[in-house]
Amino acid sequence: MSSSNDEIDRLCRTGEHASTADIAVCSQRNFEQIYAKLNSTIKTSEAELSKGDVDLKADNNPVALPYFENGQRAWVEYRDNQCYAETYSLGEASMRYVTFWDCMARITKERISDLQSTED
């Protein structure tokens, strides 16, 4: 893969002269960008839950944040297992890594959308 960021951006954007390995790297890069957005969205959700938990705790009610954190860990396990299952079902396919990273990106985008819809 090319070394300059501009060349990498062009390769990932156009796919021009890209090998399967290049496409896999671009898919992984795309997932990493989406995952960074997920982490930002989670921090926002956690901050909101923490604020709400203050009142809940003051009224001797169960708090939400620990359950959100448990749910997020379970979601990560679900996403990873789902994507491994999709990928490994292909056998020795040359696009295996592209399939994996595209799956990770797709399910992560869905999670971001779910979290954002609960903020409204």
20: tokens are 């399967």
Domains of the chain: 21-119 (1.20.1270.180)
Residue 1: pLDDT over 50: no
- Model-level pTM? 0.84
pLDDT at 79: 98
If one compares 119 and 95, the residue with the highest pLDDT of the two is 95
Tell me: the pLDDT tens digits for 41-89? 999 999 999 999 999 999 999 999 999 999 999 999 999 999 999 999 9
